[in-house]
Amino acid sequence: MRSNHLTVKPISGTVGAEIHGVDVSADLSDDTIADIRRVLLDHGVIFFRDQTLDHERHKVFARRFGEIFVHPNFKGLGADPEIVEIRRAPTDQRIVGEEWHCDTTMMAEPPMGAILYGVETPPYGGDTQFASMYHAYDALSDGMKELLGGMRAVHSDHMVAGPAAARNAKRSTKVREDADWRPTVAVHPVVRTHPETGRKSLFVNRSYVFRFEDMTEEESRPLLDYLFRHGERPEFTCRFRWQPGSIAFWDNRCTHHIAVNDAGQHFRHVRRVQIAGQRPV
């Protein structure tokens, strides 16, 4: 499929498409940005190959889609608070994003998306998988949709940051674990309506959701476990193999993703910029 001068190639039946024919480091026209946004909305996550992005051009491209979001758990740990450098060394026992998740949902206004750029990638392994939460919601029974429609879930970052999470000792990419750290908590609807497409999606994820509003963790666990497993069904997913100069740009409002920890004795370095979003409704 062609979109003006862009060539769009879907990579699965439900989510993900590669875009060819554009240099994202250039000063792109408003029409081209609108085309890219439309493909993102249609496919949930888009990919570019053979790009050259330094830090500033990475941020310039991100700002064409919204304000840059500064992640509170990485703030102060890098030279540029608007950029997160994600590194994986062969000796690492853990990696960032190693379970299915949606980014930073403990915020009252979670990011609308993220642009991840491949700086140094392994010759094999270290892929990223993505899942469509539109399709996960659509595949639920009518009874389950009715049940979830009135529910809200509690999102917290206590499982991924802070002293109790103890992530830093086992991986190269660090988060805040200092004594002054406090969890950030927000309550969001379990079923989210996308502000641009109007489509409904499942909005709970393993990294941040630990119970439903007005329920205990024990009461919440059976249904949460079912929803997590349901959203990870392979027919809702695609898999992206990284190369130097590759870009993944996902819509954080309707997709989940996971970093596959199988790079063996190889380094992996990717650079992320997040884009500010809105309160889920």
Residues designated catalytic: 101, 103, 257, 272
Tokens of 176: 């805040």
Q: How far apart are CA 255 and CA 249, in angstroms?
A: 11
Q: How far apart are CA 14 and CA 265, in angstroms?
A: 33
Phi, psi of 10 (to 5 degrees): -60, 145
Distance, CA of 195 to CA of 225 (rounded, Å): 27
The answer to whether 51 and 25 have CB atoms below 8 angstroms apart is: yes
* Residue 274: strand pairing partners: 69, 114
Residue 29 backbone dihedrals phi, psi, to 5 degrees:
-70, 160
55: left (phi over 0), alpha (psi -120 to 50) or beta: alpha
Beta bridge partners of 193: 200
Q: How far is CA 109 from the centre of its chain?
A: 14
